[in-house]
Chain A
């Protein structure tokens, strides 16, 4: 089973780019990586999903290198409201297994 590892916490300042990396060994070429954001007292909310190379939407980018042993969530120009916990989820197509990482608590400072 894929073990999903993320840094416990990160600090940043407003306007900076933040990159959060998730390590996930032993995933197949068609397994998906999804990132969720969670604010206190709320359920996680979808940010972005992909399974290869690079995906970009209006809020973030997801980079997946060729070896697929990690993936990186990139948040451009963060603001105070981006302070939250960010979860990496690996979904394995072969057996429908899913593993959330432990979450990375991002604190954006003024």
Chain B
């Protein structure tokens, strides 16, 4: 398996623009997680899905952030409008777990977002 695939790997945009990050989880995995990593705040869980259903989105910073998982093989994280403080590395991870958050998570390579 190719592992978790994220695109793009790098994104540079201007403040106010819409940004869409994409993730393809490992085939057969039932849970998907979106994280944000910065030097100041470390790894933060934004949202996670079980069987394509959002379970916990309490980490989503504000209404500018939204995430969808239309099917088992694809998820998006959208920021609209983007702001400089959104600059970070965004990771997607997936796990086999049918429910819950205890199973091993496999992380993608991340998307480095820079908002000017």
Contacts and interface: CB of A to CB of B under 8 A. Distances in A.
Nearest to B104: A46
B65 interface: no
Those 4 A-B pairs whose CB atoms lie nearest each other, nearest first? A43-B107, A32-B102, A100-B43, A91-B102
B53 to A, nearest CB: 12
Contacts of A100: 42-45
Interface of B: 4, 42-45, 55-56, 91, 93, 100-102, 104-110
A60 interface: no
B114 to A, nearest CB: 15
Interface residues of A, number: 20
23 contacts: A32-B102, A36-B107, A42-B107, A42-B109, A43-B107, A43-B108, A43-B109, A43-B110, A44-B43, A44-B105, A46-B106, A49-B102, A49-B104, A87-B43, A91-B101, A91-B102, A96-B55, A96-B100, A97-B56, A97-B101, A98-B45, A100-B44, A101-B42
A96 B104 contact: no
A2 interface: no
A97 B42 CA distance: 17
B98 to A, nearest CB: 12
A3 to B, nearest CB: 13
A44 B104 contact: no
Nearest to B93: A43
Given A42-B109, A91-B100, 4 more contacts: A43-B107, A91-B101, A96-B100, A103-B43
A102 B38 CA distance: 10
Contacts of A46: 104-106
Contacts of A91: 100-102
Contacts of B101: 91, 96-98
Nearest to A30: B102
